[in-house]
Chain A
Amino acid sequence: MEAFTTHTGRAVPLRRSNVDTDQIIPAHWLKKVTRDGFEDGLFEAWRKDPEFVLNRPERSGATVLVAGPDFGTGSSREHAVWALQNYGFKTVISSRFADIFRGNSLKNGLLTVVIDQETVDALWALTEADPTVEITVDLEQRKVLAPGIDADFELDENARWRLLNGLDDISLTLQNEADIAAYEAGRPSFKPRTIDA
């Protein structure tokens, strides 16, 4: 996983609430068996409309998505995170994310920034007035910075440490092999098994 310290880029204002993962990446894209190549499926239905914000030439190359509340609801598909990353987004800002989406994003190194709706409104206004304006998400200081905006955001220490160091979960867990083996040894015999081992 790539480490995330700080990122600065132009933004896409997505003035929609309750953007579910079916909108982020429609189900028919889930058939792929790799982790890349999902960029064309991102917001596929909405992108048919040439006026959709992602299609606007001034938004090309933007890396920061500023979305409405309850972003990423619905299906647990991690493909939604890959699609955002494949498209080029490094971070998504919203006042509220669905839990599974948030977990998936942090595990993949896509920083989801939870910030109050007022700041989201201000960021929307700013980037809509001037698409060239750049937004900085600084994970070290836990801040969102843009002209006239200096807002703190929360992220638990553990998730932050792992993002800053680009550490993947499995290797971290396997450091606790002794604990896992001890737990396994103490499991009652009535627990279900799928096959005789």
Chain B
Amino acid sequence: MGRTLAEKVWDDHVVRRAEGEPDLLFIDLHLLHEVTSPQAFDGLRKSGRRVRRLDLTIATEDHNTPTLDIDKPIADPVSRAQLETLRKNAAEFGVRLHPLGDVEQGVVHVVGPQLGLTQPGTTVVCGDSHTSTHGAFGALAFGIGTSQVEHVLATQTLPMARPKTMAITIEGELPDGVTAKDLILAIIAKIGTGGGQGYVIEYRGSAIEKLSMEARMTICNMSIEAGARAGMIAPDRTTFDYLQGRDHAPKGEDWDAAVAYWKTLRTDDDAVFDAEVFIDAAELAPFVTWGTNPGQGAPLSANVPDPASYEDASERLAAEKALEYMGLTAGQPLRDIKVDTVFVGSCTNGRIEDLRSAAEILDGRKVADGVRMLVVPGSVRVALQAVEEGLDKVFTAAGAEWRHAGCSMCLGMNPDQLAPGERSASTSNRNFEGRQGKGGRTHLVSPQVAAATAVLGHLASPADLSDAVVSTPAGV
């Protein structure tokens, strides 16, 4: 019988297989950041162990880094301690680190792909749930906990139980104005935050094949929000073209050998998935969340749902709690929801294409009075590219704040936070209670919806703008 993409990559990394035990998998790339690594290095030190493969390990700083005044000492003592601990550990153990201020610094899941380190058919791990991002290249990429970080540092392997496989097939054309973010939010709303549990999801079908690498990363990034172990997309010409010429992409003969191997990484026609989901791309629309988990979303044209309409008692309860926390009433049109803050950034939507699409909408327009908009590139490289294209000027001319690279407002861990009761439209991936700051209320949106929302001051799509605002050319 044929094998799926996930099974092929898995099989190619089995170091040891024994009856009744999890497989021992070799890890090709280990990404580290300051939040989930200190206790792992601590463990190594306590047991007198070293990092087994420094050449397969790389670290960056992202979660705690400020996005303003990055040349000044970090004000928050705890943030500073975490960054200093990573720097100390990297120096002591010899790990390659890109600290704040370095040109390769940025959100770990933006940095790996842009360096060309994330490649098809590799296993990638990081002490971070959004490691699933790297699956966009046809890599098997898992988020792991700190004990596992320590395990990989010490052994370059991980014992893992073989996951089940799920195919999500999206056929057809995405309608105008519908992005990868809308697609993944719609998928999560359909299968639920536990729908992917125990599975590696493979996204496939004509709608996926047409997506750019960056859009594919947006999709795979949020696999974890559907509960999946990982998300994957089969590598193809788009993948190879993205990688060719990058710093760590194979060169010369190695490139040819690599591409020959990568081309074998497709699910065989006779392979069987443990579960299948089908989606018609043509039926999709801009999608936003109204609740406090990423599965609580609806098309922008819909109304806030009535909890009473849920048959499942625990879903009903969850919806009631979500509406209370979010300060929303059942039946209220989503488009009427006013926001205080708009955040464009994160490992979901902080890459150059995301910034371009937000800038395109903001060009010649203004952020609405009383709305604060933060634009935070996912990495320093993304920031430099954006500046080269003049996007930073478009943002500032519109009244948005152009910041330094980092996780920023994706999570309430650095100075960029919502105040209690404040409401945001955010291109990040989590709308949990307090995620963007204590008491903050988050609506997950695409970069396009974020930009249109910033202009109108309420949740909106670019289509809502065409009549409302006359676009004038700006000095790009």
In A131-165, which residues have CB < 8 Å from any B CB? 156-158
Partner of B55, one of A73, A103, A197: A197
Q: Given contacts A22-B432, A27-B435, A179-B24, are A73 and B56 in contact (CB under 8 A)?
A: no
Tell me which residues across on chain B come within 8 A of A173, comparing CB atoms: 24, 151, 154-155, 157, 159
Partner of B154, one of A22, A73, A174: A174
Partner of A195, one of B28, B96, B145, B250: B96
Partner of B147, one of A26, A108, A156, A180: A108
**A39: interface (CB < 8 Å):** no
Report yes or no: B413 in contact with A156, Cβ–Cβ below 8 A: no
Report yes or no: A31 in contact with B82, Cβ–Cβ below 8 A: yes
Binds A, one of B252-260, B281-289, B335-343, B367-375: B252-260
**A3: interface (CB < 8 Å):** no
Binds B, one of A58-66, A84-92, A182-190: A182-190
Report yes or no: A30 in contact with B413, Cβ–Cβ below 8 A: yes
Tell me which residues across on chain A come within 8 A of B249, comparing CB atoms: 192
Tell me which residues across on chain B come within 8 A of A190, comparing CB atoms: 250, 254-255, 257-258, 261
**B434: interface (CB < 8 Å):** yes
Partner of B227, one of A32, A99, A169, A197: A99
Interface string of B239-277 (1 = CB under 8 A from A): 000000000111000110110010000000000000000
Report yes or no: B36 in contact with A194, Cβ–Cβ below 8 A: no
Q: Given contacts A22-B432, A170-B49, A193-B248, are A76 and B129 in contact (CB under 8 A)?
A: yes
Report yes or no: B433 in contact with A23, Cβ–Cβ below 8 A: yes
A84 to B244, CA, bound (A): 46
**A56: interface (CB < 8 Å):** no
Report yes or no: B145 in contact with A33, Cβ–Cβ below 8 A: no
Report yes or no: B145 in contact with A191, Cβ–Cβ below 8 A: no
Q: Which residue of B lies closest to A178 (CB)?
A: B16
Partner of A158, one of B21, B28, B257, B413: B21
A35 to B227, CA, bound (A): 26
Q: Given contacts A33-B38, A173-B155, A192-B117, are A73 and B78 in contact (CB under 8 A)?
A: no
Report yes or no: A31 in contact with B155, Cβ–Cβ below 8 A: no
Report yes or no: A18 in contact with B39, Cβ–Cβ below 8 A: no
Interface string of B31-74 (1 = CB under 8 A from A): 00001101100100001010001111110000110000000000
Report yes or no: B318 in contact with A17, Cβ–Cβ below 8 A: yes
**B29: interface (CB < 8 Å):** yes
Interface string of B15-30 (1 = CB under 8 A from A): 1100011101010110
A176 to B129, CA, bound (A): 28
**A77: interface (CB < 8 Å):** yes
Report yes or no: B116 in contact with A192, Cβ–Cβ below 8 A: yes
Smallest Cβ distance from A125 to chain B, in angstroms?
A: 15
Smallest Cβ distance from B201 to chain A, in angstroms?
A: 13
Partner of A170, one of B21, B47, B293: B47
Report yes or no: A176 in contact with B15, Cβ–Cβ below 8 A: yes
**A45: interface (CB < 8 Å):** yes
Interface string of A62-101 (1 = CB under 8 A from B): 0000001110011111110100000000000000101110
Report yes or no: B248 in contact with A179, Cβ–Cβ below 8 A: no
Q: Given contacts A33-B42, A76-B144, are A158 and B22 in contact (CB under 8 A)?
A: yes
Interface string of B315-337 (1 = CB under 8 A from A): 00110000000000000000000
In B394-418, which residues have CB < 8 Å from any A CB? 411-413
Binds A, one of B174-182, B192-200, B385-393: B192-200
Tell me which residues across on chain B come within 8 A of A35, comparing CB atoms: 39, 42
Smallest Cβ distance from B313 to chain A, in angstroms?
A: 9
Measured as residues with beta carbon below 8 angstroms from the partner, the interface class of chain A is 35 or more
Tell me which residues across on chain A come within 8 A of B448, comparing CB atoms: none
Report yes or no: A196 in contact with B314, Cβ–Cβ below 8 A: no
Q: Given contacts A176-B15, A194-B56, are A169 and B261 in contact (CB under 8 A)?
A: no
Tell me which residues across on chain B come within 8 A of A187, comparing CB atoms: 26
Q: Given contacts A31-B413, A77-B36, are A194 and B96 in contact (CB under 8 A)?
A: yes
**B308: interface (CB < 8 Å):** no
Tell me which residues across on chain A come within 8 A of B39, comparing CB atoms: 33-35, 78
Report yes or no: A179 in contact with B15, Cβ–Cβ below 8 A: yes
Report yes or no: A33 in contact with B129, Cβ–Cβ below 8 A: no
A95 to B143, CA, bound (A): 23
Tell me which residues across on chain B come within 8 A of A197, comparing CB atoms: 53-55
Smallest Cβ distance from A70 to chain B, in angstroms?
A: 5
Report yes or no: A22 in contact with B435, Cβ–Cβ below 8 A: yes
Q: Given contacts A157-B20, A188-B261, are A23 and B432 in contact (CB under 8 A)?
A: yes
Tell me which residues across on chain B come within 8 A of A18, comparing CB atoms: 193, 293, 314, 318
Q: Which residue of A lies closest to B260 (CB)?
A: A190
A133 to B85, CA, bound (A): 45
Tell me which residues across on chain A come within 8 A of B35, comparing CB atoms: 30-31, 77
A34 to B413, CA, bound (A): 17
Report yes or no: A78 in contact with B248, Cβ–Cβ below 8 A: no
Tell me which residues across on chain A come within 8 A of B20, comparing CB atoms: 157-158
Q: Which residue of B lies closest to A156 (CB)?
A: B161
Tell me which residues across on chain A come within 8 A of B155, comparing CB atoms: 170, 173-174, 180
Report yes or no: A192 in contact with B248, Cβ–Cβ below 8 A: yes
Report yes or no: A73 in contact with B293, Cβ–Cβ below 8 A: yes
Q: Given contacts A99-B227, A156-B161, are A28 and B147 in contact (CB under 8 A)?
A: no
Report yes or no: B16 in contact with A179, Cβ–Cβ below 8 A: yes
Tell me which residues across on chain B come within 8 A of A68, comparing CB atoms: 314
A112 to B242, CA, bound (A): 42
**B210: interface (CB < 8 Å):** no
**A116: interface (CB < 8 Å):** no
Query: What would 20 more interface pairs be, CB under 8 Å, given A27-B413, A35-B39, A77-B35?
Result: A22-B430, A23-B433, A30-B35, A30-B36, A30-B413, A31-B79, A31-B81, A73-B194, A74-B129, A74-B430, A99-B227, A157-B20, A158-B21, A170-B47, A170-B150, A172-B159, A184-B156, A187-B26, A188-B257, A194-B55
